[in-house]
Amino acid sequence: MSPIVNEARKHYRGRINFVDANLDQQSGKELSKRYQVIGYPTLLLLDSKGNKVSTLRGVMPLALIEKEFDNLLAREKK
């Protein structure tokens, strides 16, 4: 999923913060436990307060990811 996420990262630069977690490292393990990640690839969409808004599991098309990002941005404007 990395090329798709990289494309989204370019498109949403400055509007959405992207954080990568490596499950082979302790910090990644802690995040996966905190947000109940059970497999990967997994994209977690968090609001500005760190609350989980949406979980996207598996490989998916850029258009679907962008729709979820747009929903997150609209929610944050409220």
In order of their start, the domains of the chain are: 2-77 (3.40.30.10)
Confidence at 11, pLDDT banded by 50, 70, 90: very high
Structure tokens at 51: 């609350």
Tens-place pLDDT, residues 23-44: 889 998 998 999 889 888 899 9
Give mean pLDDT, residues 36-59: 90
Q: Which residues does residue 55 pair with via DSSP β-bridges, in sequence order? A: 44
SS3 for 77?
A: helix
User: How far apart (Å, rounded) are the C-alpha atoms in residues 45 and 22?
Assistant: 17
End-to-end Cα separation, the chain, in angstroms: 30
Residue 58's region, left for phi above 0, alpha for psi from -120 to 50, else beta, is: left
